[in-house]
């Protein structure tokens, strides 16, 4: 499950970087579109959410479904 969350976070970060990118200038003049709200506010927020979800995926402790079976086997050995 953690690897899935990590992959989703990476995809969100890549989407944020794509939103941040844009066309360059061909003639060397100033392009005011570099200050668009999507590039300055939305894209960094998307990247931050992606990085935060990646950190959560790394820190999150996975649920041990198999540990109950190991404990049951140990309990059976002690009872015999």
Instruction: State pLDDT tens for residues 20-63.
Output: 987 666 777 777 788 888 899 999 999 999 999 999 999 998 87
Q: Are 47 and 13 in contact (CB under 8 A)?
A: yes
Confidence band of 65 (pLDDT split at 50, 70, 90): low
Residues sharing a CB contact under 8 Å with residue 61, sequence separation 6 or more, in sequence order: none
Q: What is the pLDDT of residue 49?
A: 97
Greater confidence (76 vs 37) lies with: 37
Q: What is the pLDDT of residue 33?
A: 80
Residues sharing a CB contact under 8 Å with residue 38, sequence separation 6 or more, in sequence order: 19
The number of residues in the chain equals 80
Distances (CA, A) of 68 to 4, 74, 80: 24, 10, 19
CA distance 45 to 49: 6
Q: What is the pLDDT of residue 12?
A: 97
């Amino acid at each position: 499950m953690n690897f899935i969350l990590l992959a989703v976070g990476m995809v969100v970060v890549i989407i944020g970087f794509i939103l941040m990118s844009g066309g360059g200038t061909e003639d060397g003049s100033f392009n005011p579109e570099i200050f668009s709200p999507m590039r300055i506010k939305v894209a960094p927020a998307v990247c931050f959410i992606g990085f935060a979800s990646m950190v959560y995926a790394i820190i999150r402790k996975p649920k041990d479904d198999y540990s109950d079976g190991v404990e049951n086997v140990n309990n059976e050995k002690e009872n015999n």
